[in-house]
Structure 1
Amino acid sequence: MAKLTDVQLKQLVEAAIFVADEPLTKEKLQESVLEGLKISKKRLADALAELVLDYAPRGVQLVEVASGYRFQSMDSLSPWLSKLRNEQAPRYSRALLETLSLIAYRQPITRGEIEDVRGVAVSSHTIKTLTERSWIKAVGHKEVPGRPTLYATTKEFLDYFSLQSLADLPPMQNFEMLSDSLETESEKQSLPAEQATIIQDLDPSQPAVIAETDINKEHLH
């Protein structure tokens, strides 16, 4: 096969990411559609960077998440794009979001440690829901009496919230302010807006729409 021009490389990479069922890393691109084409890591990185810029002002953008590159709608368009779906996006309780936030920032963490911060018990349903969503997973046991399970977030959690790594989470200061306020259930229902920043930032009720090959099958990731 003849050497790809820069334009052809961008077209091939763009198409591959668009038709893929999951995000594609640079390594996956090299091992699949670019196999045998002798495309250097720098040249591929440059092509991806140009594509990101090409899509930046558009309604659909190319973003890098923990699992690789994918196309998704601009976050600000979610309230309107969600009308394309017949069903409503799931709503999650404040207790679930607070639990998820604690795991995200203090991982690995035990259920008991979460309860110490929140001041109330963490229901089995909350842990089950987060596990079934593949947002958290058991990563071991703490070496204390009873050896309680340690929980941490997953790559799926990062992908869902369009994060490349845990370093992209909102500032820790916001979370500390929230933690200091979690003394009773009644207080948690009326947190000041600035203290609930982390909960709002991790609220998955309006996720981005991911572009698929069949444009009629857009869905909320």
Structure 2
Amino acid sequence: MERRQQEAAIEAVLFAMGESVEIDKLAEVIEEEEETARQIIAEMKDKWEKEGRGVSIVEFENAYQMCTRGDMYEYLLKVAKTPKKYVLTETLLETLSIIAYKQPVTKLDIERIRGVNCDHAVNRLIEFDLVTELGRMDAPGRPLLFGTTEQFLRSFGVKSLEDLPELNEMKLEEFKEEAEEEAELALNI
């Protein structure tokens, strides 16, 4: 298969799937090794950027997806309905942060950290496709385990969880102290 045909095949697959496709599947499609497929995709990304195309290829861990460039949003609005905007409240952001950094994590673990029930927050994050059920823990009661989704990576502009900012230990201690103080106040009420 010649290079132009390989690029066309990758483009067709990414376009048709509409979601991310793992690199091993793309390599299989073009009958090449994964590293060669990554190189071809990198060249395609560069070429599309130089040409000012309306779409780009975005990498998520070991997968790629064709996406509309962010600066094309205003043009999409002229022909599409305004997409529903989700508001991430402070509660949702706190819950999402815990899940992102501690995953896989149970609701009980989240509640221990936050000090309050998290059912609503977790359900909203699942509804927004930022969090998903990863399975069940091998423990009494077999509680559900939660983790972040590819949509989470896309929404926060990171390729993988390793790209998340490092937790500042001093800030972490401050948060723990604040949480303990809040818990004490709640008990005294």
Matches within 5 A, 1:97-116: 97-116=93-112
TM-score by length of 1: 0.61
Tell me which residue corresponds to 2:44: 51
Farther off after superposition, 94-103 or 56-65:
56-65
Does the CA-based 8 Å contact 2:86-2:128 persist in structure 1? no
Does the CA-based 8 Å contact 2:20-2:64 persist in structure 1? yes
Does the CA-based 8 Å contact 2:100-2:147 persist in structure 1? yes
Tell me which residue corresponds to 2:185: none
1:125 matched to 2:120? The reply is yes
Aligned residues: 174
Tell me which residue corresponds to 1:217: none
Tell me which residue corresponds to 2:16: 19
Q: Following TM superposition, by how much is the alpha carbon of 1:168 offset from its aligned partner in structure 2, in angstroms?
A: 1.8
**Aligned-residue RMSD, C-alpha:** 3.5
Does the CA-based 8 Å contact 1:64-1:162 persist in structure 2? no
Q: 1:131 to 1:42 in 2, by over 3 A?
A: closer
TM-score by length of 2: 0.69
Q: Following TM superposition, by how much is the alpha carbon of 1:142 offset from its aligned partner in structure 2, in angstroms?
A: 7.0
Q: Distance in 2 between matches of 1:79 and 1:165?
A: 24
Question: Per-residue CA shift, 1:120-142, capped at 9, x if unaligned?
Answer: 332x2212222344423153337
Q: 1:180 to 1:79 in 2, by over 3 A?
A: farther
Q: Following TM superposition, by how much is the alpha carbon of 1:101 offset from its aligned partner in structure 2, in angstroms?
A: 0.8
Does the CA-based 8 Å contact 1:141-1:150 persist in structure 2? yes
Greater helix proportion: 2
Question: Per-residue CA shift, 1:48-75, capped at 9, x if unaligned?
Answer: 1101222345453211114621122344
Tell me which residue corresponds to 1:29: 26
Q: 1:87 to 1:40 in 2, by over 3 A?
A: closer
